[in-house]
Amino acid sequence: MKSSSSLRFRSLVGVRRAVVACRRCPRLVRFRETARPRAAFKGEKYWRRPVPGFGDSRAELVVVGLAPAAQGGNRTGRVFTGDNSGRFLVRALYNAGFANQPMSESRDDGLVYDNCYVTAAVKCAPPGDRPSGDEFEKCAPYLDAELRLLARAKVVLALGDMAFRAVVAHERRMGNPLPRARFVHAASYPLSGGGVLRASYHPSPRNTNTGKLTESMLTGLLVEIRGSLKGGGQ
């Protein structure tokens, strides 16, 4: 069962264009367009638009975060780029063999993902990093379309509880309610179409600075996932 809201998108390029032009959530539009630059970025031109997914269109691994950061993706125009969460994630992806370099600073820094596509459940930076339920719902067609169009995906890795719940909600819309799905780091649940949903703590400074999520934890999970893909899938 496909979500009718995602059927109008025929390609990831089409999703990207629709995402970048989106103004469906007034609160998010106001916040992304008026977010005050940090002193370190004074004079830099901010993206200030919704941030589309980025990566390999034939990826077997799809990483889903929560939303762009006001001083990260909202500034640079690429998901998980230019902030500490992005640096942490991309180092782990590089260490596991999914990225060509361990840095993610700008859209023109040369980053390429191998067999990996990275996106977010909500495409605009939200105040306090907390999208509302209505904002999740309005952004859901974009996530539905990305996951549908990434037809080779075998593993969806959700970063944090809210991204995890967004993927579970997507599965519910696909007719796979996942009644026992609970967010636990490294947990695994079957997805519609034969894939697997994996969970990880979000690489936010709150989690990484306190040791709740270490680089070895995330790298280890990604190495495990890469091994399962080389072995023919989960």
**Edge-to-edge order in the sheet of strand 188-190:** 54-55, 116-120, 61-65, 155-159, 196-200, 188-190
Give the dihedral sign, CA 49/55/57/61.
Answer: negative
Q: Which residue has the tokens 């990484």?
A: 208
As given in the structure block, the two tokens for residue 7 are 């059927």
The CATH number covering residue 23 comes to 3.40.470.10
Count of C-beta atoms within a 10 Å radius of residue 69? 26
Q: What is the DSSP code (8-state) at residue 142?
A: H
Residue 80 and residue 73 in contact, taking contact as beta carbons nearer than 8 Å: yes
Q: What total of structural domains would you count in the chain?
A: 1
Q: DSSP labels for 159-205?
A: ESHHHHHHHHHHHHHTT---TT----TT-EEE-GGG-EEEEE----H
Task: Give the pLDDT score at 167.
Answer: 98
- Tens digit of pLDDT at every position of the chain (234 positions): 344 444 579 999 999 999 999 999 999 999 999 999 999 998 899 999 999 999 999 999 999 999 999 999 999 999 999 999 999 999 999 999 999 999 999 999 999 999 999 999 999 999 999 999 999 999 999 999 999 999 999 999 999 999 999 999 999 999 999 989 999 999 999 998 889 999 999 999 999 999 999 999 999 999 999 999 975 444
* Pair type for strands 196-200 and 188-190: antiparallel
Tens of pLDDT, residue by residue over 154-211, are: 999 999 999 999 999 999 999 999 989 999 999 999 998 889 999 999 999 999 999 9
CA angle 129–191–214, rounded 5-degree value: 45
CB 54 within 8 A of CB 78: yes
Domain, as residue range, for 164: 4-230
Report pLDDT for 231.
58
Q: What is the pTM of this model?
A: 0.94
- In contact, 139 and 121? CB cutoff 8 Å: yes
